[in-house]
Each structure stands twice: as C-alpha cells, then as structure tokens.
C-alpha cells in the first residue's frame, strides 16, 4: 500500500499539505503518517495540535513511498531540525520527496535541489541556504516536479498535491475532477 509520510514542525503551515493528505487518504486509500522532532505534539500556524505517529529520528526509509516536508517558520529559525541526511537518503533510495513553502529551505540545505528543476516562494528565496541549484530555479506559481522531487510555494497547495499524486503514479480522472473543482473558485471572485 502506498504511504505518504509528512514531516511537521512547531508552527507548521496547516493548509500546505492538508489537500494532499486528505485527498490521498480519503479518495485513494493512501496511508498517511506524520513525523515531528522527538515525536512530540506540534501546533500548527492555525492552532491545530497534531500528535505525530513517530519521531523524525525513528523514520525508516522502507516504510514510506513519499516523504513530504510541510512548510512553517521553523525551517528558517535557529535550531531548525537537520533533516538533510534523511532527505538525501530518501531521494537516493528512489523515494518521492516533496517540499512546500519553507519546506523548500530544508530541501535546499540538504542539496537535493542542486540537480533538479524546482521552485519556492520566490526568486532568491533559497539563496541564503548555500545551495547550488539556482540555475534550475523556476519562478512559477505552481508546483514543479523533476527527478522524483516536487516543490511548491505556499500559494500552490493544489498543484503540490497534484504533483505528488502524479509522481506516485496515482493520477486518474478523479484527480482531474478534484483539480478542476479547486480551480473553479479562481474563475470567479466572491465579495
């Protein structure tokens, strides 16, 4: 069975991976699991408390198909979790690695963005990480998938969800319907 493991930190951006995990679990029967530093409960930017399934330190590469780094302010704070070795190992093992918003900061620091097309929250956003992939950066408003890595800005949770599902070979007519349903709201503006 396909399993998605999402990394959460204190202050994680709840909206960035909610569509992915909700659609994957609810419509596709994907197993969704969560990890956090020390396995401790974390509170989202919106105030939701999540008790993770496991600690970051307990993650086993054989237990998931996709590793997702949810954004949040923790990734730019002093003492941010060092998940570089985990991201490199997951990518090297052929696992899908996804990073959205400030999750792309952790991905850039790990070096996995040095050799794949990617995006983030804006041109220059990742420069302070010391990564060497700036020539592959795409300044776009949608997710970018390349070489088993899916990245997106904070404003692209729908295309991020689609990119992960497509990279997992789970895209079908239902996914198209789901994307159309979310895109429809952008065709009109409510007052």
Mean pLDDT on 48-62: 97
Nearest to 158 by CA among 184, 138, 125: 184
pLDDT digits (tens, 9 = 90+) for 23-34: 999 989 999 999
Nearest to 107 by CA among 142, 136, 83: 83
**Would you list the DSSP string of 79-143?**
T----HHHHHHHHHTT-EEEEETTHHHHHHHHTTTTTS-B--SSTTTTGGGT-S-GGGB---SS-
pLDDT digits (tens, 9 = 90+) for 118-165: 999 998 999 999 999 999 999 999 999 999 999 999 999 999 999 999
The rounded percent of the chain whose pLDDT value lies above 90 is 88
Query: According to the model, what pLDDT value does residue 189 have?
Result: 53
CATH of span 3-187: 3.40.50.880
pTM for this one?
A: 0.95
Query: According to the model, what pLDDT value does residue 174 have?
Result: 84
* Radius of gyration (C-alpha) of the chain in whole angstroms: 16
Taking the CA of residue 12 as centre, how many other CA atoms within 13 Å lie in the half-sphere pointing to its CB? 29
């Amino acid at each position: 069975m396909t399993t998605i493991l999402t990394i959460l930190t204190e202050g994680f951006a709840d909206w960035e991976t909610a569509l992915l995990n909700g659609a994957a679990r609810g419509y596709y029967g994907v197993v969704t699991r969560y990890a956090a530093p020390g396995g401790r409960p974390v509170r989202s930017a919106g105030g939701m408390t999540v008790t993770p399934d496991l600690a970051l330190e307990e993650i086993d590469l054989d237990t998931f198909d996709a590793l997702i780094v949810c954004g949040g302010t923790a990734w730019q704070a002093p003492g941010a979790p060092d998940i570089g070795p985990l991201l490199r190992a997951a990518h090297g093992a052929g696992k899908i690695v996804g990073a959205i918003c400030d999750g792309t900061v952790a991905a850039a620091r790990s070096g996995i963005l040095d050799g794949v097309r990617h995006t983030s929250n804006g041109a220059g956003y990742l420069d302070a990480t010391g990564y060497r992939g700036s020539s592959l950066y795409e300044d776009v408003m949608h997710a970018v998938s390349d070489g088993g890595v899916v990245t997106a800005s904070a404003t692209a949770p729908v295309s991020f969800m689609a990119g992960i599902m497509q990279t997992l070979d789970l895209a079908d007519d239902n996914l198209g319907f789901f994307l159309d349903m979310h895109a429809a709201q952008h065709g009109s503006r409510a007052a």
